[in-house]
């Protein structure tokens, strides 16, 4: 999934890798946003996405995401054990987009 967006006055693209939770996106920009926007680790960013590019999710998908990831959003990057345990549930509960990962092993 790829969406045009803005971050401050910078035009960017937001990309979601298949199988990642709904709250994870990658930022693609022509400039190094850390320098242009003076971003440091831990800073929050806001993005504007056109309403035409936003779709609603069902209440069951939202509730399922909240059950698996609510108050644990940062665990996707810091807790591989949790991410691997909930990956299969995430597909069943439709809290990720994409196709099911196959034979993924922890390294």
| pLDDT tens per residue across span 16-41 | 877 777 778 889 999 999 999 999 98
Separation between Cα atoms, residue 55 and residue 80, nearest integer Å: 29
Calculate mean pLDDT across residues 81-104.
64
Task: Give start and end residues of each alpha helix (H) in 15-94.
Answer: 33-36, 59-69, 75-78, 80-92
Domains of the chain, residue spans: 2-92
pLDDT value at residue 97: 61
Task: Render pLDDT for 46-79 as a digit per residue (tens, 0 to 9).
Answer: 899 998 888 787 888 788 778 877 878 777 778 8
Q: What is the CA radius of gyration of the chain?
A: 15
pTM: 0.65
Q: Angle CA(59)–CA(62)–CA(63) in degrees, nearest 5?
A: 85
Phi, psi angle pair for 9, to nearest 5°: -100, 10
């Amino acid at each position: 999934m790829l969406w045009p967006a803005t971050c401050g006055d910078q035009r960017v693209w937001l990309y979601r890798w298949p199988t990642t939770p709904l709250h994870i996106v990658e930022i693609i920009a022509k400039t190094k946003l850390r320098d242009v926007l003076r971003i440091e680790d831990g800073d929050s960013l806001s993005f504007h996405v056109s309403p035409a590019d936003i779709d609603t999710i069902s209440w069951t998908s939202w509730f399922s995401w909240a059950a698996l990831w609510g108050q644990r959003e940062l665990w996707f990057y810091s807790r591989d054990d949790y991410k691997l345990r909930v990956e299969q549930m995430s597909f069943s509960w439709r809290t990720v987009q994409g196709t099911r990962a196959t034979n993924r092993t922890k390294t």
